[in-house]
Amino acid sequence: MIWVDTILQGILLGGLYALFAAGLSLVFGIMRLVNLAHGDLIVLGAYLILLLVTMTGLSPFLAAAIAIPLMFMLGYGLQKFMLNRVLGDDILPPLLVTFGLSVVLQNALLEGFSADSQRLPAGTLSTASVEVAGINLGVLPLLTFASAVLVIVGLNQLFYRTSLGRAFRATSDDATTASLMGIKPASIFAKATSIAMIIVTIAALYLGMRSNFDPNIGPARLIYAFEAVIIGGLGSLWGTLAGGIIIGVAQTVGAAINPEWQILAGHVAFLIVLLIRPRGLFPRAVD
Amino acid sequence: MALLATHKLTAHYGDFQALFGVDITLDEGETIAIIGANGAGKTTLMRSIAGTLINEEPSVTFSDSVIGNRPADEIMAMGIAMVPEGRRLFPSLSVEENLLIGTYGRQHSGHWNLQTVYELFPILKERRANPGTALSGGQQQMVAIGRALMSNPRVLLCDEISLGLAPVVIRDIYKAVPKIKEAGASLIVVEQDIGQAMQVADRVYCMMEGRVTLSGTPDELSREAIHDAYFGAAV
């Protein structure tokens, strides 16, 4: 029974990693941009929610609802005024720019909020649980997982049921031909990054309520996000959820064997998948 | 006044100059053909008009606007659609989605919609859920033409639509041209197949090495004149 519990906890933890990864996967899938500042943007989102909670006394969920449009606009501006200028055939300039952005964000957050670790007040939610078939499941992990599934379902609906989704896929396939359809690739990229920032904010909400955060934890979140995206297959949204779950289960199983192995087990699982399926479990992107 | 015209149009790929002062005109309701050998500059001319190759502002005019330096998405929204060389269908979109994406930048009411495109090319309705790139070459060309028609363009640019297709398939594709004209579009057809071009065009321009070397109606142009303009006169 304890192993069933361990695996269930791992699956729920995978929901958080899938949330970290979904925005990264979206942006990579559409514009082949690897955003090295993704983890730091999640941390920025967490601080923004914390700021709103502190200033207004709102619950983190309501504060996140306010933060979402702000992060949406930040994403639009970031893409339009910075990243679109460096996107092109050479993948190095956008990598360097997002690396620089990562450094700037970490230092700005350090300057503004100090290195002290923070946490979003989750109240009784942090300890609430429900019993299912003799296994106690935390309400917050359940909410995180449900949010991850909803985000993936929502993104799939957007991609496969809307005109904007068709434009996303067409631009991803061939931006020059897409422009012959009246699609402005730069505008499509800005919309994609804006939507990714909505997901970043949702990830930030659960990150902040489930664990402590400080300005320097962004790169580690980025690694989990990367691993989930690569395990799932670059550009595949459901694959990203599967990737998050595999890392989550590997970590909880590793921790059950020896608590020191938790983080290591996740990375080992990533390496094993990479060795067996170098393009991930459900690859969508051709290049 | 011509619906579309180029004025001393030049084009460059880096240091390489591909067009040298090209002047062509297209009147409302007219079909013109651009013929020429490989490397003559036909596709460059199409790209310059469609906006995937940006030029000097006054070098291309459409209706009352100068469009030489506008990007492709704006030119398409104004009513110039292109069937690019090699079809360039979107692999991740189904046949129907490939058609629908043609309306993204221009939702203009007119003759062409999903139903009328399916009437023009009935096979596409049967294959509408298939990925566009899973179709035969001829069927892919039909999707590419249908995709461009979906925006109800005033000008349709067709770049080498017979390239790589069997003669019987080319005949089927070209059967659509009169119907497209009847629906109100003006066409510029780039072709290496001179016979096919002569059949559909009201006027023909022959290009060689980035210049227009001959122009006129199909009746005016002799076989020898076309041969000389196409390959260069024998010394």
Percent of chain B with pLDDT over 70: 99
- Reported confidence tier of residue A286, pLDDT bands at 50, 70, 90: very low
Give the model confidence (pLDDT) of B150-209 as tens digits. 999 999 999 999 888 888 889 889 999 999 999 999 999 998 888 888 889 999 999 999
In a domain, B215, yes or no: yes
Residue B103 has pLDDT above 90, yes or no: yes
* CB-CB contact of B154 with B110 (8 Å): no
Closest residue in B to A177 (Cα) is B88
Q: Predicted confidence band at B108 (pLDDT cuts at 50, 70, 90)?
A: confident
How close does chain A come to B206, measured CA to CA in Å? 25
C-alpha count within 13 angstroms, C-beta hemisphere, residue B72: 25
User: What is the DSSP track for A171-226?
Assistant: HHH-HHHHHHTT--HHHHHHHHHHHHHHHHHHHHHHHHHHS-B-TT-HHHHHHHHH
Say yes or no: B100 contacts chain A, CB-CB below 8 A.
Answer: yes
Rounded mean pLDDT, B133-140: 92
**Domain contains B134:** no
Structural domain span for residue B67 = 4-86+154-231
CA–CA–CA angle A264, A267, A270 (5° rounding) = 150
Q: Which helix (H) or strand (E) holds A78?
A: helix A60-78
Residue B149 lies in a domain: no
pLDDT digits (tens, 9 = 90+) for A192-203: 999 999 999 999
Neighbour count for residue B137 (Cβ, 10 Å):
14
Interface probe, candidates B104, B133, B147, chain A, greatest A C-beta count within 10 A: B104
- Of the residues A180, A188, A236, the best mutation for testing chain B's interface (the one with the most B CB atoms within 10 Å of its CB) is A180
In this prediction, residues B104-124 reach a mean pLDDT of: 92
User: Can you name the residues that pair with B32 across neighbouring β-strands?
Assistant: B188, B203
d(CA A246, CA A7): 10
Supply angle C-alpha A13, A14, A17, rounded to 5. Answer: 100
| Of A163, A169, A177, Cβ closest to residue B92 | A169
Residues of A in contact with B99 (CB under 8 A): none
Is residue B87 within 8 Å of B127, Cβ to Cβ? no
Confidence bin at A284 (pLDDT 50/70/90) = low
Q: What is the average pLDDT across B24-40? A: 93
Amino acid symbol at A211: S
The mean per-residue pLDDT over the stretch B28-37 comes to 93
Interface test with A, best of B78, B82, B87, B92 (most A CBs within 10 A): B92
What average pLDDT does the segment A81-103 reach?
94
Q: How many CB atoms lie within 10 A of CB B65?
A: 12
Q: Find out whether A109 and A44 touch, Cβ atoms under 8 Å.
A: yes
- A166–B81 CB contact, under 8 Å: no
Nearest residue, CB atoms, B73 vs list A169, A172, A182 = A182
Mean pLDDT of chain B: 91
Query: What is the distance of C-alpha A177 from the center of its chain?
Result: 30
CA distance A264 to B144: 51
Query: B-chain residues within 8 Å CB-CB of A287?
Result: none
Chain A nearest-CA distance from B97, in A, is 7
Task: Name the percent of chain B lying above pLDDT 90.
Answer: 71
Question: Which of B78, B93, B101 to substitute to test the interface with A, most A CBs within 10 Å?
Answer: B101
Q: How many residues does chain A have?
A: 287
| End-to-end alpha carbon distance in chain A | 43
Provide the pairing of β-strand B16-26 with B4-13: antiparallel
Question: What digits encode the pLDDT tens for the residues A130-156?
Answer: 988 888 899 999 999 999 999 999 999
Give me the residue from A181, A184, A286 closest to B101, CB to CB: A181
pLDDT score of A285 more than 70: no
Q: What are phi and psi of B171, to 5 degrees?
A: -60, -45
Domain count, chain B: 1
Could you tell me if residue B14 is inside a domain? yes
Q: What is the pLDDT of residue B233?
A: 65
C-alpha pair distances (Å), B24 with each of A6, A29, B178: 73, 41, 22
The domains of chain A are located at 2-115+132-214
Q: What is the predicted pLDDT for the residue at A184? A: 95
Question: E strands within chain A?
Answer: 129-132, 135-138
Say whether A163 and B104 touch across the interface (CB within 8 A).
yes
CATH of the domain at B196: 3.40.50.300
Under 8 Å between Cβ of B45 and B32 = no
CA distance B209 to chain A (A): 25
> Is B160 within the bounds of a domain?
yes
A216: helix, strand or coil: coil
Residue A287 has pLDDT above 60, yes or no: no
Tell me what the mean pLDDT of segment B116-131 comes to: 95
The pLDDT value recorded for residue B224 is 82
Tokens (6 digits) for B161: 């639509």
Task: Using DSSP, state whether B203 is helix, strand or coil.
Answer: strand
| pLDDT(A32) > 90 | no
Give the percent of chain A with pLDDT over 70: 98
Distances (CA, A) of B57 to A173, A224, B51, B61: 30, 49, 11, 9
Q: A-chain residues within 8 Å CB-CB of B49?
A: none
Provide, as residue numbers in chain B, all residues whose Cβ is less than 8 Å from the Cβ of A186. none
- Residue B206 located in a structural domain: yes
Here the tokens at position B223 are: 């076989």
pLDDT tens profile B165-176? 888 889 889 999
Residues 184-223 of B with CB under 8 A from A: none
* Residue A9 phi, psi dihedral angles, 5° rounding: -60, -35
In contact, B189 and B32? CB cutoff 8 Å: yes
Span A38-69, pLDDT tens digits: 999 999 999 999 999 999 999 999 999 999 99
A16's CB contacts (< 8 A; 6+ apart) are A141, A144, A145, A148, A203, A206, A207, A210, A244, A248
Pairing of strands B16-26, B80-83: unpaired
Q: Looking at the domain assignment, is residue B123 inside a domain?
A: no
Mean pLDDT to the nearest integer, A187-195: 97
In DSSP terms, B138 is beta-bridged to: none
User: Both tokens of residue A88?
Assistant: 């092109």
